[in-house]
Chains A and B, each alone.
Chain A
């Protein structure tokens, strides 16, 4: 078992052991060795310190996935702060809210976002200090920005922080049911215990090449970044545009000789259907990991037929625990299998139990809510003490159990099967989506009087999102206008697929929107 406590210390040790190994590859932009990444992140640490960042602070990262962003992550951790990555493709107002909400001391930001960000944060109150990088790519732009800052005033060299287990390492914002995203606070202990579990199960080696498909604000990135960089392996960054497009992604995976792939199932389904996988050499692949949503068996069968060699793991877990259960798929997939595979057993660094609505543990075989305790479980939600308290059950001995909101059943062999949600959260392309956040976004439109959103099962997409609306005026906005409005106010994965206009929405006897009737209207 590892004894290192800081997430960045895993990387620092690997950089001492494997200085000349390639740490990160950014296709078409460049690559860096462990020595180079260590040096670059040291410079970020020193610059952030010179900007006033101290242990315990938060630092925002508002840039495209790149070597520059990876170096910034380690720079933030080395100065003892927690990193807060935001989605560069999301509306700037949403990112401004996030970075304002958790009170970042500094934001490391690409120049193209600066003007709108300052306008948006200005409306919220204070504008944090910004360390501007002209762009991103291969780490060179970050180098240049640091050089320019040093030319004005050299940042003094500082010591790398030795973080305590409970110190925050990062905050990831997820969709919030009230319409505002909420910040999940993860400590170094949370992250390191998860990374160590990955080491135990996936046995990374220095010759491994891990994909980084998920964006950095998504919790899949924790495995992507910190597992290979603990082991002297190589991280291959996949640009957002390429990552969505199976026609470009499949050849890139082959060309980069990816050995460990990790993503949401949706892109794997697309790769199986449209990626021409049989025509490329994917013989390097030894692991295919997927998480974030249910993988339809039909597409999974196609994928495993096209790529029969690697081991396949279904990983399950909310951001609050990261991966908490896992299941290795049998091979080949039996013809008789039509329902999704189980989410599996609880990871070794955690404990799980299934509870009823009163929080009492149910017998094996009975349905209930999966609850998780242990070293991987979050500290809480940033600045939301009530929601934090409501998210946990506490035993008499003080053990905190995070209530996942997922209804499961435990089989005789100890594997859990996912049955559904307790609330209105859905998964779309691996992202958590609170339907209430979409409704809150729609209500911002001046003409919308009522908005109610439901998720409809869809064989190909998993789910489709349908919005029922009523209008304040006889002339209703067009569907194009609504989609455009949503694209400016919500992340792309939250834009409804369908809009249905009603004179007024159906109500229950207590005058609340009747979701049951809306579901029946489908």
Chain B
């Protein structure tokens, strides 16, 4: 389940924010917000994508960087919401 979420999130980030990047460069621990991949609008778009794609509702505090800074963190958050 978590692996599937990771794959979907990774594809989304590569497609939307890193077009042309070698997929192997984006690992589940690559810092997204603190590493400059996602700016504030990018983070918002990711949140909206997660809500729509996985049918979850994120609470206001869950849009902080500690929940969204890596693919692993994002997948854990989505998984916890779905289970």
Contacts and interface: CB of A to CB of B under 8 A. Distances in A.
A483 B37 contact: yes
Contacts of A266: 41
B41 A270 contact: yes
Interface string A475-513: 000111101101100001101001000000000000000
Interface string B29-57: 01100111101110110011000000000
B68 to A, nearest CB: 11
A245 B40 contact: yes
Nearest to B42: A497
Contact of A461 (B22, B41, B64): B41
A487 B21 contact: no
A351 interface: no
Contacts of B26: 480
The A contact surface, by secondary structure, is helix
Contacts of A493: 39
Contacts of A461: 41
Contact of A270 (B35, B37, B44): B44
A247 B64 contact: no
B63 A484 contact: no
Contacts of B40: 244-245
Contacts of A492: 36, 39
Contact of A484 (B19, B35, B47): B35
A248 B60 CA distance: 6
Given A247-B47, A247-B60, A479 B20 contact: yes
Contacts of B19: 498
Contacts of A484: 31, 35-36
Interface residues of B, number: 23
Contacts of A478: 21-22, 25
A247 B21 CA distance: 30
Contacts of B30: 480
A246 interface: yes
B41 A480 contact: no
Given A478-B21, A478-B25, A479-B20, A246 B36 contact: no
Contact of B36 (A244, A248, A486, A498): A486
Contacts of A241: 64
A113 interface: no
A274 interface: yes
Given A478-B25, A480-B18, A480-B26, A495 B60 contact: no
The 5 closest A-B pairs by CB, nearest first: A487-B36, A244-B40, A483-B36, A478-B25, A484-B35
Interface of A: 241, 244-248, 251, 266, 270, 274, 461, 478-481, 483-484, 486-487, 492-493, 495, 498
Given A245-B43, A248-B60, A480-B30, 11 more contacts: A244-B44, A245-B60, A247-B47, A247-B63, A270-B41, A479-B25, A480-B18, A480-B25, A481-B25, A493-B39, A498-B19
Interface of B: 18-22, 25-26, 30-31, 34-37, 39-41, 43-44, 47-48, 60, 63-64
14 contacts: A245-B44, A247-B60, A270-B44, A478-B21, A480-B18, A480-B21, A480-B25, A480-B26, A480-B30, A480-B35, A480-B37, A483-B36, A492-B36, A495-B36
